[in-house]
């Protein structure tokens, strides 16, 4: 309980978040946990009493990026030895004590499953390095969600970890086995968010559509969870990411048909269009199975916008495999996609496999990205003339302008002088720019 006579002194916390949306959510939760210790967020690292680097291991050279950021903190720490420096996230999990050995300026190292103990670590009441997978549920030990500012869209983690063991991916090692949060806690957190003005929730998980839970009336799948969330009055939009094709159940596909609050947008990574490479990646499905799945999803929700992830130049990839990927992309037609050249991650099954020649992989990446960019442009231009819902998230730079997200997650700029952040309005799209749309309020 807070001692009202002696409230804790206000201290400033600077958090740098690398990578994925799950890290954004984790950073928010760590900020909330540290808020109870008297820390408020600052955007000025030089003024901070504590700097926390919340790292991601998915992208290339993640550890090197962390060490170079830590190197840049050396002068600040030398000037102010009281400054606390913490490293959180997946690189913290993977590197552990090595971080403090290489960078003694680091005070705390905390993994993704133990960050609820960050306040105790800062107080010196818990070890300075915590990267285990505790049996307790961290979400039970985090403070209730608070609104730090009026934000109509929020993330909500419902699932963590992954049991799929794709040959290129560190997640099963850094985030651990799949764990689904209980139904009642998710619904409670969603209701709390809505009470605080949130109208759109994006459900997060490394393998979010693998979520499953026990309700009072038997087992629940992810589709049923979405149906329950859609019954919360005031929750106007539901999204989720990231999904594995093998966990797209019939019920979830039906939810895309039946639930108007479930936005017509699906990120469904396929990684490659070649069965040989999909097998080598341990993705456990074929290209034809993915295509059949897309047909079923589009039959349920014809206007859905599909996005995906691709890895180019995976060990053993031939020109034919690459051509198979281009063919799959041409057949599906994606609204947007993330594509990367393969880079080996220590500790993963593919780490020691012979790599594709770098120049060849570069060339293939260029070809793939050219096709994906063309599709993205076509998808965006296809929005012109359409009437879409837009949830305003912030004012634009020009007076009277608001910026929001469409049903399809495009950024939309709208002249709306009387509108407020948090308004959900109907907009007629009049123009497609490079990475955004322009719209007018619909009558
Ligand atoms: S399904 Fe996703 S998170 Fe899980 S191992 Fe594969 S790529 Fe990694």
| C-alpha pair distances (Å), 192 with each of 1, 62, 211 | 21, 34, 21
Instruction: Compute the distance between CA of residue 222 and CA of residue 210 in angstroms, rounded to an integer.
Output: 7
Kindly give, in sequence order, each residue whose CB lies less than 8 Å from that of residue 256, ignoring residues fewer than 6 positions away: 262, 264, 266, 297, 300, 301, 304
Ligand 1, atom 1, lies closest to the CA of 164
Mutate to test the pocket of ligand 1, among 161, 163, 172 (most ligand atoms within 8 A of CB): 172
Is the CB of residue 90 below 6 angstroms from any atom belonging to ligand 1?
no
Is the CB of residue 169 below 6 angstroms from any atom belonging to ligand 1?
yes
**CA 361 / ligand 1 centre spacing (Å):** 22
**CA 243 / ligand 1 centre spacing (Å):** 9
Is the CB of residue 171 below 6 angstroms from any atom belonging to ligand 1?
yes
Q: Torsion angle, CA of 117/123/128/130, rounded to 10 degrees?
A: -10
So what's the pLDDT on residue 174? 85
| C-alpha pair distances (Å), 45 with each of 77, 98, 106, 213 | 11, 24, 15, 41
**CA 342 / ligand 1 centre spacing (Å):** 14
439 is in an annotated binding site: no
Ligand 1, atom 6, lies closest to the CA of 166
Kindly give, in sequence order, each residue whose CB lies less than 8 Å from that of residue 363, ignoring residues fewer than 6 positions away: none
**CA 170 / ligand 1 centre spacing (Å):** 8
CA 208: distance to chain centroid?
10
Mutate to test the pocket of ligand 1, among 94, 161, 171, 242 (most ligand atoms within 8 A of CB): 171
Rg of the Cα atoms in the chain:
23
180 is in an annotated binding site: no
DSSP 352-386: TSPPPPHHHHHHHHHHHHHHHHHHHHHHHHTTTT-
So what's the pLDDT on residue 148? 44
Is the CB of residue 165 below 6 angstroms from any atom belonging to ligand 1?
yes
Ligand 1, residue 244: give the atom nearest the CA: 1
Q: Please state at what angle helix 222-230 crosses helix 183-195, rounded to 10 degrees.
A: 30
20 is in an annotated binding site: yes
Ligand 1, atom 8, lies closest to the CA of 169
393-397-402 Cα angle (round to 5) = 35
Instruction: Compute the distance between CA of residue 293 and CA of residue 207 in angstroms, rounded to an integer.
Output: 17
Mutate to test the pocket of ligand 1, among 161, 163, 164, 309 (most ligand atoms within 8 A of CB): 164
Residue written as token pair 């880079």? 343
Please name each of the domains of the chain with its CATH number. 11-135 (3.40.50.12160), 144-263 (3.30.750.210), 297-381 (3.30.750.200), 387-441 (2.40.50.140)
**CA 279 / ligand 1 centre spacing (Å):** 14
**In this structure, what token pair is assigned to residue 189?**
């957190």
Is the CB of residue 166 below 6 angstroms from any atom belonging to ligand 1?
yes
Kindly give, in sequence order, each residue whose CB lies less than 8 Å from that of residue 150, ignoring residues fewer than 6 positions away: 197, 421, 422
The tens-digit pLDDT sequence of the chain (443 residues) is 444 555 557 899 999 988 777 888 888 889 888 888 888 999 888 889 999 999 887 766 778 889 999 999 999 999 999 999 999 988 888 888 889 889 999 999 998 888 888 888 988 888 888 887 776 677 777 776 655 446 899 999 999 999 999 999 988 988 889 999 999 999 999 999 999 999 999 999 999 999 999 877 889 999 999 999 999 999 999 999 999 999 999 999 999 999 999 999 999 999 999 999 999 999 999 999 999 999 999 999 999 999 999 999 999 999 999 999 999 999 999 999 999 999 998 889 999 999 999 999 999 999 999 999 999 999 999 999 999 999 999 999 999 999 999 999 999 999 999 999 999 999 999 999 988 999 999 97
Pairing of strands 305-312, 336-341: parallel
So what's the pLDDT on residue 145? 67
So what's the pLDDT on residue 316? 97
**CA 347 / ligand 1 centre spacing (Å):** 14
Residue 273 φ then ψ, to 5°: -105, 5
Is the CB of residue 201 below 6 angstroms from any atom belonging to ligand 1?
no
So what's the pLDDT on residue 38? 87
Q: Partners of 427 in the beta sheet?
A: 388, 441
Is the CB of residue 271 below 6 angstroms from any atom belonging to ligand 1?
no
């Amino acid at each position: 309980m807070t001692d009202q006579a002696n409230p804790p002194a206000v201290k400033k916390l600077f958090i740098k978040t690398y990578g994925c949306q799950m890290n954004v959510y984790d950073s928010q939760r760590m900020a909330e946990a540290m808020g109870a210790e008297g820390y408020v967020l600052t955007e000025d690292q030089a003024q901070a009493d504590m700097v926390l680097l919340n790292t991601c291991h998915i992208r290339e050279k993640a550890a090197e990026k962390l060490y170079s950021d830590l190197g840049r903190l050396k002068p600040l720490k030398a000037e102010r030895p009281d400054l606390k420096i913490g490293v959180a996230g997946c690189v913290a999990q993977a590197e552990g004590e090595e971080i403090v050995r290489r960078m003694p300026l680091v005070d705390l190292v905390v993994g993704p499953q133990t960050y609820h103990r960050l306040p105790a670590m800062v107080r010196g009441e818990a070890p300075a390095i915590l990267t285990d997978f505790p049996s307790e549920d961290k979400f039970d030990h985090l403070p209730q969600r608070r609104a730090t500012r009026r934000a109509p869209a929020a993330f909500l983690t419902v699932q963590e970890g992954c049991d799929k063991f794709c040959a290129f991916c560190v997640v099963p090692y850094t985030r651990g086995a799949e764990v689904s949060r209980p139904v009642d806690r998710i619904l409670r957190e969603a209701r709390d968010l809505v009470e605080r003005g949130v109208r759109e929730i994006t459900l997060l998980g490394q393998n979010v559509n693998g979520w499953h839970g026990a309700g009072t009336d038997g087992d629940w799948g992810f589709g049923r969870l979405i149906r329950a969330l859609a019954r919360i009055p005031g929750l106007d939009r539901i999204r989720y990411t990231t999904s594995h094709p093998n966990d797209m159940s019939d019920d979830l596909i039906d939810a895309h048909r039946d639930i108007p609050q479930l936005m017509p947008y699906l990120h469904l990574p396929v990684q490659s269009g070649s069965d040989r490479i999909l097998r080598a990646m341990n993705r456990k499905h074929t290209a034809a199975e993915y295509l059949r799945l897309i047909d079923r999803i589009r039959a349920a929700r014809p206007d859905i916008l599909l996005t995906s992830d691709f890895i180019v130049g995976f060990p053993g990839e031939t020109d034919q495999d690459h051509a198979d990927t281009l063919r799959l992309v041409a057949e599906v037609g994606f609204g947007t996609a993330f594509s990367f050249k393969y880079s080996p991650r220590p500790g993963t099954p593919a780490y020691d496999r012979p790599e594709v020649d770098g120049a060849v992989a570069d060339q293939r990446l260029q070809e793939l990205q050219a096709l994906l960019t063309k599709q993205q442009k076509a998808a965006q231009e296809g929005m012109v003339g359409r009437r879409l819902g837009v949830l305003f998230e912030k004012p634009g730079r020009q007076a009277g302008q608001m910026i929001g997200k469409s049903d399809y997650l495009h950024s939309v700029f709208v002249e709306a002088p009387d509108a407020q952040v948090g308004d959900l309005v109907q907009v007629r799209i009049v123009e497609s720019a490079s990475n955004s749309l322009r719209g007018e309020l619909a009558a």
